[in-house]
Amino acid sequence: MSSYALSLVLAVIACVIGGVLGGLVLARPDSMLGLAGLKSEQDGGVNAVTEGRAFGGLLIASHGAAALFLGWQSSAGAAMALVLAIAWFGAAFGRLVSMLLQKAGGRFNYGSVLLDILMGITLALPFFNEGSLPLHRIGGSMLV
């Protein structure tokens, strides 16, 4: 397997992980937002749950579309995955700033920063990888 093909496979796996995280937030916003410390008690958590579900849908749709294009048209998928990588890097930066300003460490925050950085790196790989996939036509379909 070429390094480009490996980077595409890893990026698709990262998209699946991002989509699963979105699905967890969409299905169980109370527990996921509570785990992240984002649940608001002011309005009984109704607005937080609504925002959590919207965020979950955003994760599912964006990572699903990127995974689809990584498999269907890898150059467009690599560009889409790069945009997602920048978003994950932004999340890591935001967490780091929050940790510094609020002096809030903890295993959850350190683990989340590590996950954000690793997701960003993995999703950026196909865009920066030199090379292309050889495409072979068999019948009417393309095989990699």
Residues 6+ apart with CB under 8 A from 93: none
Q: Reduced to 3 states, what is the DSSP secondary structure of residue 27? A: helix
In sequence order, what are the beta bridge partners of 136? 143
- Single-letter amino acid, residue 24: L
In the chain, where the domains are located: 3-129
- Average confidence (pLDDT) over 11-38: 84
Instruction: Write out pLDDT tens, residues 26-84.
Output: 888 877 766 665 665 665 556 777 888 888 899 999 999 999 999 988 889 999 999 99
pTM for the predicted model, two decimal places: 0.79
Contact 39, 30 (CB under 8 A): yes
Q: Does residue 119 surpass a pLDDT of 90?
A: yes
- Quote the CA–CA distance of 39 and 42 in Å, as a whole number: 9
pLDDT of residue 10: 95
Q: Does residue 105 surpass a pLDDT of 60?
A: yes
pLDDT cut 90: percent of the chain above it: 47
- pLDDT-derived band at 118 (thresholds 50, 70, 90) equals very high
**Residue labelled with tokens 């920048």:** 86
Helices (H), 28-144: 29-36, 46-72, 74-102, 107-128
What b/e string do you get for 23-57 counting C-beta neighbours within 10 Å, with b at 16 or more? Answer: eebbebbeebbeeeeebeeeeebeebbeebbebbe
Closest CA to 58 of 84, 88, 22: 22
> Who has greater pLDDT, 132 or 6?
6
**Residue labelled with tokens 């997602």:** 84
- pLDDT-derived band at 130 (thresholds 50, 70, 90) equals low
**Residue labelled with tokens 């749950």:** 49
> Who has greater pLDDT, 41 or 139?
41
pLDDT of residue 136: 47
